[in-house]
Structure 1
């Protein structure tokens, strides 16, 4: 079974891209807070994610950097080649559902 759910903050501004044949996609990173360390400080894991189609449009329209969201989906791995013919390996979350929790604080 391949099912994951994360709650975290969007790391960068959401940018929508058209990748041909009216296929829309956005890639971003979710900062998922870890439990507090003994010294009282917090840390985060950074989870790359990809959203396709109408959900990508909705994310771009309603979310900004720093907003708190919940994502449900699955993990996927893929490879691609750079212009220098290097093979890059990527593990990312493929988002199936999005829940908007809280806008970034203005403070």
Structure 2
């Protein structure tokens, strides 16, 4: 069984990319605080995640850097060759569903509405 459910904060600005034949994808990282504290404060795990299609579009529409979200999905591994010819191995979460745990950012919505009018 390969299932993962996590709750954390989005680490970077949310950006969509178009790949291949028009498929939409987004990659980001979720900061997940550990349930215990250490002498120098609370430790945090950083989990890379990828969302495709409508899920990616929903995250981009409703979330900003720092927003709290819940993600359900599975772990996947892949590799690719970088521009130096080295094989890079990646382990990440493939998102199946998103749970928005904060209200939508109204400032971002207003900025989009202004851009649409211009």
Please, what TM-score do these two structures have when normalized by structure 2? 0.83
CA distance in 1, matches of 2:85, 2:22: 28
Runs of 4+, deviation exceeding 4 Å: none
* Bigger CA radius of gyration: 2
- Equivalent position of 1:10 in the other structure: 10
User: Deviation string for 1:46-65 (max 9, x for gaps)?
Assistant: 00000000110111111000
User: Deviation string for 1:17-48 (max 9, x for gaps)?
Assistant: 00021100000000011023254821210000
Please, what TM-score do these two structures have when normalized by structure 1? 0.91
Aligned pairs for 1:1-107 (under 5 A) are 1-39=1-39, 41-102=41-102
Coordinate RMSD, CA, aligned = 1.5
Aligned pair count? 104
Where in structure 2 are there 5+ consecutive unaligned residues?
105-118
CA distance in 1, matches of 2:40, 2:81: 42
Which structure shows the higher helix fraction? 2
